Amino acid sequence: MTGRRDDRSTDRTTAPRAVEDLPSALDGEAFLHRLAGRRPAVFLDYDGVLTPIVERPEDAVWSESMRRTVRDLADRASVCIVTGRDRAVVQQLMGVDDLVVAGSHGFDIWSPTGGQLTHGILDDFTELIGEVTETLRTRLAGLEGVGIEPKRASVAVHYRQAGPDARERVSAIVEALLKEDPDRLAVVPGKMVYELKPAVDWHKGKAVLHLIEVLGLDSPEVVPLYLGDDITDEDAFRALRDRGIGILVGSPEDPEMAGRRTDAEFVLASVDEVERFLSTLGR
């Protein structure tokens, strides 16, 4: 796709590494060396991290054991959910309403104590997202296996269940839409999904940095950890370079990880490993 995408350029002190070259975050000695006695603040993506990727987004409900693990950790450390999902949707899927959640790639940030957490760059994009959603519904009508998910500040086009011809058609429609409105729209590519969002300089990485500031976590005694699996999580990995630790969730054997290079420093191969890691961290 050649249409406008998010500007993901940023200064790097370390070049991205191949997934298979990353050490496991379950390697206690290596990971504890990076913690260096500081207390963690934990930022977690939802899909692919706290719950496996599923065919239908509405089926991504985390397990009871994962829920307990995250809640136990939240009793001992700051825990924030940072997701491309709509905030209200992910809160419903989790059945938890007392964690900080940054939904829609950080466009909708909510705290159980402070309510809506705003930022100067953020605005009400309801009208824009409504227009884009209706256009997509019209142009994608009749394509089997394609789903449209409107959110507070973006709209996602899922095509995991679509055939090859339908996938090509989706790509062409999204690219055409971007060319028609390049000043207002950008696309965030993900795992079998295109996310159309406002063309403003905001993403998960900037949302995490904003949360570190407003939650009072910007201290030498605190080390931010970010766990994510998708391309959109690379923004957070880069944002935490030299001040935190990025942990990529995914196996090098997964076809969707083939050839991927990442700014994360550690890896966890599966959601089960995430649960083991968070449980150990909580203890």
Integer Cα distance of 74 and 39 in angstroms: 13
Integer Cα distance of 61 and 56 in angstroms: 11
pLDDT of residue 194: 92
Non-local CB neighbours of 26 within 8 Å, separated by 6+ positions: 268, 273, 276, 277, 280
Residue 137 pLDDT level (bands cut at 50, 70, 90): very high
pLDDT of residue 102: 94
Task: Please tell me whether residue 209 adopts helix, strand or coil conformation.
Answer: helix
145 backbone φψ class: left, alpha, beta (φ>0; ψ -120 to 50): left
CA 231 to chain centre: 8
pLDDT of residue 1: 54
pLDDT digits (tens, 9 = 90+) for 75-123: 999 999 999 888 999 999 999 889 999 998 888 899 998 888 776 666 6
pLDDT digits (tens, 9 = 90+) for 21-78: 999 999 878 898 888 889 999 999 999 999 998 888 788 899 999 999 999 999 999 9
pLDDT digits (tens, 9 = 90+) for 146-156: 999 888 788 99
Handedness of CA 229, 226, 247, 249 (dihedral sign): negative
Both tokens of residue 209? Answer: 């940095």
pLDDT digits (tens, 9 = 90+) for 243-263: 999 999 999 888 888 888 999
Q: Identify which of 77, 70, 9 has the alpha carbon closest to the alpha carbon of residue 39.
A: 77
List of domains in the chain: 39-113+223-282 (3.40.50.1000), 126-198 (3.30.70.1020)
Flag whether pLDDT at 219 surpasses 60.
Answer: yes
Flag whether pLDDT at 162 surpasses 60.
Answer: yes
Instruction: Please identify which of the residues 6, 7, 11, 45 carries the catalytic annotation.
Output: 45
Residue 5 pLDDT level (bands cut at 50, 70, 90): very low
Flag whether pLDDT at 193 surpasses 70.
Answer: yes
CB 159 within 8 A of CB 166: yes
pLDDT of residue 71: 95
Residue 12 pLDDT level (bands cut at 50, 70, 90): very low
Is 98 part of the annotated catalytic residue set?
no
pLDDT of residue 123: 66
Buried b or exposed e, range 115-149, using 16+ CB within 10 angstroms: eebeeeebeebeebbeebbebbeebbeebeebbeb
pLDDT digits (tens, 9 = 90+) for 174-183: 999 999 999 9
pLDDT of residue 191: 80
